[in-house]
Homo-oligomer: A and B are copies of this chain.
């Protein structure tokens, strides 16, 4: 895409309303614009990142045997009355009355609706296990939405739901999501630590939050330093036994503020890392909490009809855009991991009125595009300094700088955004490098 054409309204000044760095950088880079409090439009640059994150999440869910569907944003109140949550949920739930005076709501989560779909479709243990997910916009009417997409009101979430005939099956489903989450966050360039979370009235320890460490995180976190170095499994057989992986990852201490056990501070001493964290995922086993009241029964091999065992598993897709920036930026701007960068390469023409520069840039642009490399080509007549600053701000992994002096010596400059290393290199070699 040519810079002269792309709709990317960057800001020179820091917007006053942004309190944290990801919000500030997303506004400045022209990734988002506020539509109303806590509700954003995703402009092309931001939308590309959002889509890439969504795609990584999707691929890892699919690998784990989870099937994608799509539930609507609007849900009938009756279902939530059946589960008893309609009154419990409070003012965060956006309640709506339609033209026929029927109570509806903008879904903040989907346990009721997926249980309704399940109870109308599945009858027998022979059809289990089932893992279903969707990626859909949710709404929670926060009192004080803030921090941009990190705590917005309308947000994109991936939520999966598991259905099993018994507890042993539910554990296998839980473990699949546990491992899929480790892999998902790793692919997004994040180090996410599963931490024991409140498991609610059901008890047991089948609830984990996945937390990334970032100085600006909302939560205090405590974990054994070795957890930070645990290996994320590469080739996973999701039909095999995943318990050893889960056991390993839960073998050392890791807890958020509200679950923290003070005695661990003495016990672990300088092995304990104290940091700030951002929750990016949450997995949760809740047994028959919804299947019982909603009557989602399946015939088992021996016991007649039993309520199905369930769990739910969420990833905050739009929140991750902010989370990744919080974890990966410097004073000049964003530093995207390659897996979610809106473009891989920023191509800068330093002198657009120079025929040689223009020709070299046009050729590089055409060849990179033909090879399927995503390029943002700054073909404008802005000053070099402005171009460099903007490329640093939007954080593409590679900057390819073409100027008249270099060209005379047959070289262009390649800069890696992450480390800042620069290299003079021939156009041929740079193509081999970026395409390879």
- A residues whose Cβ falls under 8 Å from a Cβ of B: 5-7, 9, 30, 33, 35-37, 39-44, 46-47, 50, 65, 67-76, 91-92, 94, 96, 98-99, 102, 104, 106, 113, 116-117, 120-122, 130, 132, 137, 139, 141, 143, 153-154
Q: State whether B67 touches A42 (Cβ < 8 A).
A: no
User: In the complex, A106 Cα to B76 Cα: how many Å?
Assistant: 15
Each complex incorporates copies of this chain amounting to 2
Min distance, Cβ A132 to any Cβ of chain B, angstroms: 6
User: Could you tell me if B113 and A35 are in contact, using CB atoms closer than 8 angstroms?
Assistant: yes
CA distance A9 to B132 in the complex (A): 13
A153, B137: Cα distance in complex, Å: 17
Question: What are 11 A-B pairs at a CB distance below 8 A?
Answer: A7-B121, A7-B132, A30-B121, A35-B116, A40-B72, A41-B69, A41-B71, A42-B70, A72-B154, A74-B106, A74-B154
Q: From A154, which residue of chain B is reached at the shortest CB distance?
A: B72
In the complex with contacts A94-B96, A113-B35, A121-B7, A72-B41 CB distance below 8 A: yes
CB within 8 Å for A120 and B69 given contacts A39-B74, A41-B113, A141-B98: no
Q: Besides the contacts A33-B120, A41-B69, what 16 more A-B pairs have beta carbons closer than 8 Å?
A: A5-B65, A7-B121, A9-B120, A9-B121, A35-B116, A40-B72, A41-B113, A41-B117, A43-B117, A46-B69, A47-B70, A72-B154, A91-B99, A92-B99, A94-B98, A137-B137
Contacts of A65 in B (CB 8 A): 5
**Cβ–Cβ < 8 Å partners of A120 in chain B:** 9, 33
Interface of A is mostly: mixed
Measured CA separation A417–B74 after assembly (Å) = 36
Taking a contact as CB atoms closer than 8 A, the residue among B5, B47, B102, B116 that contacts A69 in the complex is: B47
Q: For residue A42, give the distance in angstroms from its CB to the closest CB of chain B.
A: 4
Q: Are A35 and B71 in contact (CB under 8 A)?
A: yes
Give the complex CA separation of A96 and B95 in angstroms: 8
Q: Tell whether, in the assembled complex, residue B98 and residue A7 are in contact, meaning their CB atoms are under 8 Å apart.
A: no
Q: How far is the CA of A91 from the CA of B96 in the complex (A)?
A: 13
Distance in Å: Cβ of A59 to nearest Cβ of chain B: 14
**How many Å lie between the Cα of A130 and that of B4 in the bound state?**
11
By beta carbon, the residue of chain B nearest A92 is B99
B contact residues around A47 at 8 Å (CB): 68-70
* A141 with B99, Cβ < 8 A, contacts A6-B67, A50-B70 known: yes
- Give the residues in chain B near A44, CB-CB below 8 Å: 67-69
- CB of A73 within 8 A of CB of B154, answer yes
* A35 in complex: contacting residue of B30, B36, B76, CB < 8 Å: B76
Residues in B with CB closer than 8 Å to A42 are: 69-71
